[in-house]
C-alpha cells in the first residue's frame, strides 16, 4: 500500500468515527420501528400453511404482522427513564454537575452532606422528566383518541388465522388502567346484523388498534379508513367508491375506486363469513404512495390488484354509503405511517448554543483551578524547606506539595463551580413552561369556532419561535378551507364581479358597497322600461341545497331578467341581443358540461350536487344560483331548468371528451330532445390559451376584453376557466363519431389517437366568457403571509396538488405577487432537471458567481434547449420579461424533485436557485419529499425552519423541521398530534411568531446571558481572594451566601425577565413585522453578547473586591483599632454583589413592570434582612460565622460608604453605554419605544411617517418595495374599479401579469390563473364512457352500428364550410308567450 493511500485511509477513519458520533441520535436508539417485512400472503377463510409455523407450532416471526396501533409518542413505561436521562445528559452542564456531586461523595472533598449536594441535580432531572412525561402523556391521549376510534369488523362464524404482534404497553396505558366501555354486549349500536335471519355473522364495533391483517371490515360514508384495505364490494350498483385523498396528496377532488371483480359478491356479513377461501399475495410494505402490487387467488384464478382497488389509511369515504373490504396493511406498515418518521427529541437553538458557552465556562473553571493548583503547589515547595508551620509533616506520600496541588485543583473546582449554574436549566424549564401557558391563555389565538386554544405540545421550543427564517407550509386545509366558491365571471366581454360582502365592517369594503349601489341604480335607470323584467317573467327555480355560499350579482341578475323579457328578443339593438344569447349560453354550459350527479334530499326535497371535482360543483352551483338549475341525469339524459321555462329542458349526452393535464379542457356533445332541431352542440370549458387557440376567426374585441378580464382574475388569485361552444351538423357528427370509435378501440397509442380525433371536433369554437373560482382561503391567510414576508421569513409551499392549483393558491395568498416571475421546473420530460435549473440560473441570475453551475455530463443531455416566446390569447410577454420588480417564484413538481435529490450537485443547485427566489412552491410531492425539502434547507443553510400542516401527509415534514406546527383541522388530528404547537387557524401563526416567539427569544436570551453574568461576579470575587489566601481555594464568603446565591439572592430577577420583560408591546410587533429581524439575526443571544456580559461580571468583581478590601485594610475601619474580621468585609462584598447583580439584571430589561420591580427588589430586600437577622443568632442557639455582624456593619462608616460607591461604579459602564446607544445610535426598537412613549395612540401599521425619515433602515427597505396585500373581500370590491363595468362607459385597465417560464419546454407565457381539479381516467369516468358507447351503438341503425363495430379502412373526413351560420343560443321572439325550443335560428 502506498503512503498516500495509507494517509488517506487514516484520514478517513477519524472522519468516519467523528461522523458516526455526530450522527448519533437518541431517537434511533429507542426507535420501535423495524424495516419493512418481506412480501406477505394473507389467508382468508382458510388456515395458514404448515410452513408458516415453527417446530413449536408458533407462527414464524416473518409472518407476524404489525398491529394497527399507531404511537406518535416518544416514551413507553420501559424506555421513559433511560431515554429521558440520555436526553437530559446531552447537556454538558448536567454531566459536569454529576461529576461534582460524585466528587463530593469522597470525604476529602465534601463541603456539606453528599446527599444534599446531589439533591439539586436530582430535582432538576426529576422536574424536567415530569415535564417531558406530561408532554408525552398528552401525545398518548391524542394517540388514544385515534386508536380507540370505532370501525365495524366481521364477527361470528369467521376466524382470522393471520398472526399480529401484541400491542405495546404505552406510557399512559401502563400507568392508567384502561376504562371499559359502558355499552352492553348485545347492544344494537355495537352489533350490526345485515345478513339473513338465523346467521351468526355480524359486524361488531372494534377499535382501530384491534383491527388485524386479514379482517373483513365494513366502512361507513364520511369516515376515515383505519388501515390499507382491499375493496370487496360497495353500496354502488357498479361497486364504485369515492374517496377524499387530501390527507395523502393534498388534492381536493374525489378519487373513484372500484371493487375487485372477483370479490364483489361479498356484500354482507354472511357472505363474507362463508366466502370461498382466497389468499392475497402482496409486495413488502413500501412508502411509495402511488404504487401497490398484489394478486388475489380465488378458486384457482389469479386476479391482479393495484391502487385502484385499495383504500389507504388517512383517506375518507365520500358519496358512498358503505364499503366492505379486507385489511392488507396495518399500523406502521400502512403507507401513510411509513411516510412519517418517529417522534424526534427536539432541542431549541438557544439550548444548543448554550453548550459552547458552558464549555467556555468549564474551560475558565479548569483554568482557575489549574492556576490555584500550580500556585499552591509552588508555594508549598517554596515554604516547606523554610519550616512554615502550616506545612508541618508535608512530606508524606498522601500529603506533599505535588499531591496537595492536585487536591487544591479539585477543591478549586468546588469553589468556582457556580460559574456553571445548576439552577440555570431549572429556571429555563420553569420559564418556558410558563411561556407555554401564556400562549395557551392568549384569547387572540384561541379558535372560538371549535373552542381550540393554541397548545404548546413541546414546552422547550418557545424561543425557537422567535428565530424562524423559513416556513414550509402545506396548502390544502392549512391555507385553504377545502371549499371552492364561484366569485366572478366574464360573459360576452362584460365582467360581473359579484356583490361585495355586506357583512364586512372594514372601511374599504363599506365604501365599495356604496359605490356598487350607486352604479347599480344608475345602470337600472339606464335600461329601457321594456327591458326590465317583472316577477311574472321569471319562473322560480327548484330548491337547491344551501352550501353556505351563494353567488350574487345584482347587475348580472338584471341582465338575465332583461334577456328573458319579451322585448329583449325583439330589440333591434344587435349588441343587446348578442349579449342575451351569451348569457344564456354561458350558464347553459355551466349547467350541462360536467360530470356532476344531482341527488334529491328525501326530507327537504332540495337538490344536492355530488361531484368528484370541487370546481365542477362550484360551477354547477353558480348556474343554479342564477336560475339555470341542473336537475340531474337519467343515464345519458340531462335535464336543466332555466329561468324562463316551467318545463325542464332535456338533452341527450352523446360524448364526453375528458379533461386531462395535456388537453387542459373538457367537452360534451349534446343533442336537444323534445324539439325539431336536429343539430348537435359541443360545449367546452378549459384553459384560456387552449380555448383561444381553437376559436373561430373574428370577434377580436371580445377575445381581447375577455383576456384582460382573465388577467385581472388571475392577479386576484382566482382559478379561471374559459367557456366556448360550437354547433355541429348531424352528418358531420356521424362521420366524426366513426373516427372517434376507431380511436377508442385502438390497441396502440389509444390516448394519443383519442386526443387527435377530439382535436378535430374542438375547433372553430365561439367564445362565451370565463369563470373565476376561489379556492377559499382560511381567514386572514393573505394578510398573514404578507406580514410574515415583511418579517423577512421565506415561505415555501409543499403540496400534493397539481401545478396550476399551487400557482393559483400562491397568488391568492400573496406568496406570488401580481408582478412575480414564475420559473417552472418539471420532471418526466426529455430535458433533464439539472439542465432546467442550470438554464434558469444562467438566464435569470447571471450575476451569481459564487458557485459553479453543474450540468449533467452526458453529451445527450448537454444539448441546448432554447427558450422561446409565445403568445397566449391576446396578451404578449413584454421585453422586460424576467425583470419585473416582483422578483422570482420557483415552482418545482415532485418528479423534478426526485431527480434533483438524486445527486449532491443537483441538490445544491436546487437549493441555490430556491434561495435566490422570493418563494418556492413544490407541487405533486409525496410526504417523504416534503421532509426531504425541509432537511435540504435546514441542514445545508443552518437556518431555523418551521413546518405547518393539518393532514397525515404533513407529519414527516412537521417532524423534520426545527418547529412543527399542526392545525387541528376538521379532517383529523394527525398533524396536531405529531406537532410541537397545535393551532386552530393559519392566521394565528403571525402572533405566535411575531409576538410570543419574539418575546420568548428576547426574554430567554437575556435570561441566560444574565445568568452567566451574575455567576461571574461571585466567582471573580472568590478568585481575587486567592491572591491573598495562598491560592488555597478557600471561600471568601460565608458558605450560606454561596449556597443561596443562585436561589434566593439573584434567581427571581432573571426569572422575572424571562416572564415579564417586553421588548415592545404586542401591538407594535404585530403592526411592524419588520422588527422580527432581531430574532432572525440572533440579536438577543450571541457569543458576542456572552463575552460582553462575562466581561461586565469580571469588571464588577474587580470593583467590588478591591475597593472594599483596600478600603477595609488601609489601615482599618474599626474604631477599636482591630483589623476587620474576614466575614465582615466579605459580607459587605456579598451584599454589594447581590445589589449590583440584581439591578444590572433589571437594567437589561426593556420594560419595568410591577412584576419585574418585585422580582428585582426581592433578592436585595432578602439579603439585607437575612444578613442582619442571621447575624443576631447567639452561639447558644447555633454556631455561625456571622454572629455580631449586625453591630459591626451597622456601625461601620466604611460599610455605608462602600455599598453605594461600588454599586454606582459597577453599573456606570453599562448605564453610560445604554444612554449613548439610545441617544446617539438608536436602533429600530429604541425609535419605536420613543414613538410609543410620546404618542401611544399612533397607528404604526398605516402611518407612513412612523417609519420614514427617522432611521428605521430595515423598515424603509421593506416598505420601499411595492407589495401586493390581497384581501379577498377588498380585491373583489376593488375589481369594480379595475374591470370594465357592464353598465357604464370606461376602458379596462391593462393589467399585465408577469412572466411564466416553463424550463422543461422553454415556453414563456402569461399566467391567467387556469386551474381545474378533477380525477383523470378514473373508474367513474370509464364507466360513463362505456355506457355512452353501448347506448350509442344500440340507438344507431344496424348497418351503421355494424360500421362502428368494424370501422372502415378509409374514414370519411368532415366536410368543412357546411356549418350553418346560426348561433346555438338564440332567443325566439315572444319567448314568454310561446313555449318552444331554446335553440333556434336567428
Q: How far is CA 848 from the centre of its chain?
A: 31
Q: Choose the catalytic residue: 474, 509, 893, 1096.
A: 474
Q: In this structure, what DSSP letter does residue 238 have?
A: T
- Strand 1299-1302 and strand 821-825: the pairing is parallel
Please provide the DSSP assignment of 575-631 as one string: HHHHHHHHHHHHHHHHHHSS--EEEE-TTT--EEEE-S-HHHHHHHHHHHHTT-EEE
Indicate the SS3 state at residue 1356.
Answer: coil
Q: How far is residue 1117's CA from residue 495's CA, in Å, rounded to a whole number? A: 94
Q: What is the full DSSP assignment across 1116-1133?
A: T--TTSPPPPHHHHHHHH
Which residue reads 361507513 in cell numbers?
220
| Cα separation values, 512 from 277, 498, 522, 1293, Å | 69, 12, 15, 18
Q: Where are the alpha helices (DSSP H) in 993-1050?
A: 998-1027, 1039-1043
Distance CA 1104, CA 1118 (A): 19
Q: Is 553 exposed, middle or buried (0-12, 13-18, 19+ CB in 10 A)?
A: buried
Question: Which set of grid coordinates corresponds to residue 961?
Answer: 423541521
Residue 1257's φ and ψ, nearest 5 degrees, are -60, -50
Question: Is the N-terminal amide bond of 1115 cis, ω within 30° of 0?
Answer: yes
Q: Is 779 a catalytic residue?
A: no
Handedness of CA 5, 6, 7, 12 (dihedral sign): positive
Annotate 314-370 with three-state secondary structure. Answer: CCEEECCCEEEEEEEECHHHCHHHHCCCCCCCCCCHHHHHHHHHHHHHHHHHHHHHH
One DSSP character per residue, 1140-1155 reads HHHHHHHHT-S---HH
Closest CA to 1102 of 1011, 1217, 1206: 1206
Q: Which residues of 606-617 are buried (b: 16+ CB within 10 A; e: fewer)?
A: ebebebbbbbbb
Which backbone phi and psi does 1141 adopt, to 5 degrees? -65, -40
> What DSSP state is assigned to residue 1249?
G
Element (H, E) at 177: none
Q: Quick one: cell of 711?
A: 388577467
Dmax (CA) of the chain: 137
Q: How far apart are CA 469 and CA 1076, in angstroms?
A: 10
List, in order, residues 6 or more apart from 1145 with CB less than 8 Å away.
1010, 1013, 1014, 1050, 1053, 1054, 1057, 1160
Residue 436 grid cell:
407555554
Q: Which whole-number Å values give the CA distances from 324 to 11, 335, 435, in the listed order?
A: 61, 20, 49
Sorted by sequence, the CB contacts under 8 Å of residue 924 that are 6+ apart come out as 249, 800, 801, 802, 803, 893, 894, 895
Identify whether the C-beta of residue 462 lies closer than 8 Å to the C-beta of residue 436: yes
Cα(884)–Cα(1212) distance, integer angstroms: 53
All three cell numbers of 1050: 439573584
Active-site amino acid positions:
474
Amino acid at each position: 500500500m502506498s503512503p498516500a493511500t495509507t494517509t488517506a485511509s487514516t484520514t478517513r477513519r477519524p472522519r468516519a468515527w467523528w461522523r458516526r458520533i455526530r450522527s448519533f441520535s437518541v431517537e434511533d436508539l429507542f426507535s420501535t420501528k423495524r424495516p419493512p417485512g418481506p412480501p406477505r400472503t394473507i389467508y382468508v377463510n382458510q388456515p395458514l400453511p404448515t410452513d408458516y409455523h415453527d417446530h413449536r407450532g408458533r407462527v414464524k416471526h416473518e409472518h407476524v404482522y404489525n398491529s394497527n396501533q399507531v404511537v406518535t409518542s416518544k416514551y413507553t413505561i420501559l424506555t421513559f427513564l433511560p431515554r429521558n436521562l440520555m436526553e437530559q445528559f446531552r447537556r454538558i452542564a448536567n454531566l459536569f454537575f454529576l461529576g461534582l456531586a460524585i466528587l463530593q461523595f469522597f470525604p476529602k472533598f465534601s463541603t456539606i452532606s453528599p446527599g444534599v449536594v446531589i439533591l439539586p441535580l436530582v430535582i432538576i432531572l426529576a422536574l424536567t422528566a415530569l415535564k417531558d412525561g406530561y408532554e408525552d402523556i398528552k401525545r398518548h391521549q391524542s394517540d388514544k383518541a385515534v386508536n380507540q376510534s370505532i370501525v365495524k369488523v366481521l364477527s361470528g362464524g369467521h376466524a382470522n388465522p393471520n398472526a399480529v404482534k401484541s400491542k405495546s404497553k404505552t406510557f399512559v396505558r401502563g400507568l392508567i388502567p384502561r376504562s371499559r366501555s359502558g355499552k352492553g354486549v348485545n347492544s344494537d349500536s355495537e352489533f350490526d346484523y345485515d345478513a339473513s335471519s338465523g346467521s351468526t355473522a355480524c359486524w361488531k364495533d372494534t377499535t382501530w388498534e384491534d383491527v388485524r391483517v386479514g379482517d373483513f371490515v365494513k366502512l361507513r360514508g364520511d369516515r376515515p379508513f383505519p388501515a390499507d384495505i382491499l375493496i370487496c364490494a360497495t353500496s354502488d350498483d357498479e361497486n364504485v367508491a369515492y374517496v377524499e385523498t387530501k390527507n395523502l396528496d393534498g388534492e381536493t377532488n374525489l378519487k373513484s375506486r372500484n371493487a375487485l371483480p372477483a370479490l364483489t359478491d361479498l356484500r354482507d356479513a354472511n357472505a363474507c363469513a362463508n366466502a370461498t377461501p382466497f389468499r392475497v399475495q402482496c409486495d413488502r410494505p413500501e412508502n411509495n404512495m402511488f404504487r401497490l402490487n398484489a394478486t388475489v387467488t380465488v378458486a384457482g384464478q389469479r386476479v391482479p390488484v393495484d391502487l385502484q382497488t385499495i383504500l389507504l389509511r388517512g383517506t375518507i369515504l365520500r358519496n358512498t354509503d358503505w364499503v366492505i373490504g379486507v385489511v392488507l396493511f396495518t399500523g406502521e406498515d400502512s403507507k401513510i405511517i411509513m411516510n412519517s418518521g418517529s417522534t424526534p427529541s427536539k432541542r431549541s437553538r438557544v439550548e444548543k448554543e448554550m453548550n459552547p458557552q458552558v464549555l467556555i465556562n468549564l474551560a475558565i473553571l479548569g483554568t482557575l483551578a489549574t492556576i490555584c493548583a500550580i500556585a499552591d503547589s509552588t508555594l508549598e515547595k517554596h515554604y516547606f524547606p523554610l519550616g512554615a508551620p502550616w506545612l508541618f509533616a508535608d512530606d508524606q506520600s498522601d500529603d506533599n506539595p505535588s499531591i496537595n496541588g492536585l487536591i487544591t485543583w479539585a477543591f478549586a473546582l468546588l469553589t468556582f463551580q457556580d460559574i456553571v449554574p445548576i439552577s440555570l436549566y431549572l429556571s429555563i424549564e420553569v420559564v418556558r413552561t410558563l411561556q407555554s401557558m401564556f400562549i395557551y391563555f392568549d384569547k387572540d389565538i384561541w379558535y372560538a369556532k371549535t373552542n381550540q386554544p393554541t397548545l404548546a405540545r413541546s414546552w422547550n421550543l418557545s424561543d425557537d419561535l422567535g428565530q424562524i427564517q423559513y416556513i414550509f407550509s402545506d396548502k390544502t386545509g392549512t391555507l385553504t378551507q377545502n371549499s371552492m366558491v364561484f366569485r366572478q365571471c366574464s360573459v360576452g366581454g362584460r365582467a360581473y364581479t359579484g356583490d361585495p360582502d355586506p357583512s364586512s365592517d372594514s372601511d374599504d369594503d363599506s365604501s365599495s358597497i356604496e359605490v356598487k349601489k350607486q352604479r347599480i341604480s344608475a345602470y337600472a335607470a339606464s335600461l329601457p322600461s321594456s327591458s326590465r323584467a317583472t316577477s311574472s317573467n321569471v319562473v322560480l327555480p327548484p330548491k337547491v341545497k344551501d352550501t353556505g355560499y351563494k353567488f350574487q350579482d345584482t347587475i348580472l341578475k338584471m341582465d338575465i331578467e332583461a334577456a328573458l323579457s319579451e322585448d329583449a328578443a325583439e330589440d333591434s339593438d344587435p349588441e343587446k341581443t348578442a349579449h342575451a344569447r351569451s348569457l344564456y349560453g354561458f350558464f347553459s354550459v355551466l349547467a350541462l358540461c360536467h360530470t356532476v350527479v344531482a341527488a334529491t334530499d328525501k326530507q327537504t326535497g332540495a337538490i344536492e350536487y355530488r361531484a368528484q371535482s370541487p370546481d365542477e360543483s362550484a360551477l354547477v352551483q353558480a348556474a343554479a344560483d342564477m336560475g339555470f338549475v341542473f336537475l340531474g341525469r337519467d343515464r345519458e339524459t340531462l335535464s336543466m331548468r332555466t329561468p324562463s321555462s316551467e318545463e325542464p329542458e332535456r338533452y341527450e349526452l352523446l360524448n364526453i371528451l375528458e379533461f386531462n393535464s395535456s388537453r387542459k379542457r373538457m367537452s360534451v356533445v349534446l343533442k336537444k330532445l323534445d324539439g325539431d332541431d336536429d343539430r348537435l352542440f359541443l360545449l367546452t370549458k378549459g384553459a384560456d390559451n387552449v380555448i383561444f387557440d381553437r376559436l373561430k376567426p373574428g370577434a377580436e374585441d371580445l377575445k381581447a376584453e375577455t383576456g384582460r378580464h382573465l388577467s385581472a382574475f388571475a392577479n386576484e388569485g382566482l382559478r379561471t376557466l374559459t367557456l366556448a361552444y360550437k354547433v355541429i351538423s348531424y352528418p358531420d357528427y356521424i362521420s366524426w363519431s366513426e373516427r372517434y370509435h376507431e380511436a377508442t378501440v385502438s390497441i396502440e397509442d389509444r390516448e394519443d389517437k383519442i386526443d387527435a380525433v377530439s382535436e378535430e371536433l374542438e375547433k372553430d369554437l365561439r367564445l362565451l366568457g370565463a369563470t373565476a373560482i376561489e379556492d377559499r382561503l382560511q381567514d386572514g391567510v393573505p394578510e398573514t403571509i404578507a406580514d410574515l414576508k415583511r418579517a423577512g421569513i421565506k415561505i415555501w409551499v409543499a403540496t400534493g396538488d397539481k401545478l396550476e392549483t399551487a400557482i393559483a393558491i400562491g397568488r391568492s395568498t400573496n406568496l406570488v405577487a401580481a408582478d412575480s416571475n414564475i420559473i417552472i421546473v418539471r420532471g418526466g420530460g426529455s430535458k433533464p432537471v439539472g439542465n432546467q435549473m442550470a438554464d434558469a440560473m444562467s438566464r435569470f441570475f447571471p450575476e451569481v458567481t459564487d458557485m459553479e453551475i453543474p450540468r449533467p455530463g452526458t453529451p445527450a443531455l448537454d444539448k441546448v434547449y432554447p427558450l422561446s416566446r409565445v403568445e397566449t390569447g391576446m396578451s404578449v410577454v413584454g421585453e422586460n420579461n424576467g425583470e419585473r420588480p416582483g422578483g422570482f417564484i420557483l415552482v418545482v413538481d415532485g418528479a423534478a424533485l426526485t431527480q434533483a435529490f438524486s445527486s449532491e450537485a443537483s441538490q445544491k443547485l436546487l437549493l441555490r436557485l430556491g434561495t435566490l427566489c422570493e418563494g418556492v412552491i413544490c407541487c405533486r410531492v409525496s410526504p417523504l419529499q416534503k421532509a426531504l425539502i425541509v432537511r435540504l434547507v435546514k441542514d445545508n443553510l443552518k437556518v431555523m425552519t418551521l413546518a405547518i400542516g393539518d393532514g397525515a401527509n404533513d407529519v414527516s415534514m412537521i417532524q423534520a423541521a426545527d418547529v412543527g406546527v399542526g392545525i387541528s383541522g376538521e379532517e383529523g388530528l394527525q398533524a396536531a398530534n405529531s406537532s410541537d404547537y397545535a393551532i386552530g387557524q393559519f392566521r394565528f401563526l403571525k402572533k405566535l411568531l411575531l409576538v410570543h416567539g419574539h418575546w420568548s427569544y428576547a426574554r430567554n436570551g437575556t435570561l441566560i446571558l444574565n445568568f452567566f453574568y451574575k455567576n461571574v461576579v461571585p466567582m471573580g470575587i472568590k478568585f481575587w481572594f486567592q491572591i491573598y489566601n495562598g491560592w488555597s481555594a478557600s471561600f471568601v464568603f460565608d458558605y450560606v451566601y454561596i449556597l443561596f446565591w443562585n436561589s434566593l439572592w439573584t434567581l427571581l430577577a432573571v426569572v422575572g425577565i424571562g416572564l415579564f420583560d417586553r421588548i415592545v408591546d404586542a401591538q407594535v410587533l404585530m403592526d411592524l413585522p419588520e422588527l422580527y429581524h432581531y430574532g432572525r439575526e440572533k440579536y438577543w443571544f450571541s457569543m458576542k453578547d456572552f463575552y460582553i456580559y462575562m466581561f461586565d461580571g469580571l469588571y464588577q468583581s474587580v470593583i467590588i473586591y478591591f475597593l472594599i478590601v483596600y478600603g477595609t485594610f488601609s489601615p482599618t475601619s474599626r474604631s477599636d483599632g482591630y483589623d476587620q474580621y474576614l466575614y465582615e468585609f466579605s459580607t459587605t462584598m456579598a451584599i454589594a454583589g447581590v445589589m449590583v447583580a440584581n439591578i444590572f439584571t433589571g437594567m437589561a430589561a426593556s420594560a419595568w413592570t410591577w412584576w419585574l420591580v418585585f422580582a428585582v427588589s426581592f433578592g436585595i430586600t432578602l439579603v439585607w434582612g437575612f444578613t442582619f437577622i442571621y447575624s443576631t443568632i447567639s452561639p447558644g442557639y447555633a454556631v455561625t460565622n456571622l454572629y455580631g455582624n449586625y453591630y459591626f456593619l451597622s456601625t461601620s462608616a466604611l460599610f455605608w460608604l462602600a455599598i453605594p460607591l461600588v454599586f454606582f461604579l459597577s453599573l456606570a459602564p453599562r448605564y453610560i453605554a445604554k444612554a449613548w446607544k439610545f441617544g446617539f445610535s438608536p436602533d429600530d426598537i429604541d425609535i419605536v419605544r420613543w414613538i410609543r412613549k410620546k404618542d401611544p395612540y399612533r397607528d404604526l401599521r398605516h402611518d407612513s411617517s412612523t417609519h420614514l425619515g427617522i432611521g428605521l433602515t430595515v423598515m424603509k427597505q421593506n416598505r420601499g418595495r411595492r407589495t401586493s396585500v390581497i384581501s379577498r373581500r377588498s380585491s373583489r370590491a376593488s375589481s369594480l374599479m379595475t374591470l370594465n363595468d357592464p353598465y357604464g362607459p370606461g376602458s379596462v385597465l391593462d393589467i399585465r401579469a408577469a412572466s411564466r417560464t416553463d424550463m422543461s419546454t422553454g415556453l414563456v407565457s402569461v399566467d391567467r390563473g387556469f386551474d381545474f381539479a378533477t380525477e383523470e381516467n378514473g373508474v367513474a369516468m370509464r364507466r360513463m364512457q362505456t355506457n355512452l358507447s353501448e347506448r350509442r351503438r344500440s340507438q344507431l341503425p344496424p348497418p351503421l352500428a355494424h360500421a362502428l363495430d368494424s370501422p372502415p379502412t378509409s374514414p370519411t373526413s368532415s366536410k368543412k364550410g357546411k356549418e350553418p351560420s346560426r348561433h346555438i343560443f338564440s332567443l325566439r321572439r315572444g319567448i314568454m308567450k310561446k313555449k318552444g325550443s331554446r335553440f333556434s335560428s336567428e
